Homo-oligomer: A and B are copies of this chain.
Amino acid sequence: MWFTGLSGSGKSSLAVGLERAFFELGARVFVLDGDNLRHGLNGDLGFSDEDRQENIRRVIEVAALFSEAGFIVVTAFISPFQVDRAGARGAIGDGFHEIFIHADLEVCEKRDPKGLYVKARSGEIPDFTGISSPYEAPLEPDMTVNSGEEDFDTCLAALVNYATQVFDVAR
């Protein structure tokens, strides 16, 4: 399940929520996000086009390993570019689900849980998605979660419902 959305849209929180909900159902979810990849495996990569593509290639390969180990994998990265997400879909194939975690920029910037938007506005962080770098919203996502308008529990319930169906998890 390839989550995409702005910083602050709730990708990681919802991914971890899904992991917990599925754990209770006896299904295993592993979350790949900035916390466990950007500072580890992909810590040598920057934000050039080449590095961005290598970042995604490695995410796909690690996801394949966890899939081999029996996990449903949720990736929670901004992944702002349509071409990258299309590439991931092509590499992963039928099991790929593009999930748009949709919250307007105004909402995300108001939340600003990590203080990143403030830094982006001041220029301290260059090329920040939504501020100084584009976000290309999915054109035909497999699912959209309106995390800007609906509360966390409603969004999570919709994700659990979707995932139990597509991955055939018994509830």
A residues with CB within 8 A of B? 28, 30, 32, 36, 40-41, 44, 54, 57-58, 61-62, 64-66, 68-69, 71
Which chain B positions have C-beta within 8 A of A44?
A: 54, 57
Counting chain B CB atoms within 10 Å of each CB, the highest count among A36, A61, A66 belongs to A61
A-B contact pairs, 6 of them (CB 8 A): A36-B68, A40-B64, A40-B65, A44-B54, A44-B57, A65-B66
What's the dominant secondary structure at chain A's contact region?
Answer: helix
Determine if A66 and B69 form an interchain contact, defined as CB atoms under 8 angstroms apart: yes
Bound complex: CA A44 to CA B60 (Å): 14
Q: How far apart are A107's CB and chain B's nearest CB, in angstroms? A: 31
Determine if A41 and B66 form an interchain contact, defined as CB atoms under 8 angstroms apart: no
Which chain B positions have C-beta within 8 A of A54?
A: 44
Chain B residue nearest in CB terms to A70: B28
Which chain B positions have C-beta within 8 A of A40?
A: 61, 64-65
Query: In the complex where A41-B58, A58-B41 touch, is A30 in contact with B69 (Cβ < 8 A)?
Result: yes
Bound complex: CA A40 to CA B67 (Å): 13
Q: How far apart are A72's CB and chain B's nearest CB, in angstroms? A: 12
Chain B residue nearest in CB terms to A71: B69
Which chain B positions have C-beta within 8 A of A36?
A: 65, 68
Bound complex: CA A49 to CA B69 (Å): 30
Which chain B positions have C-beta within 8 A of A68?
A: 36
Chain B residue nearest in CB terms to A54: B44
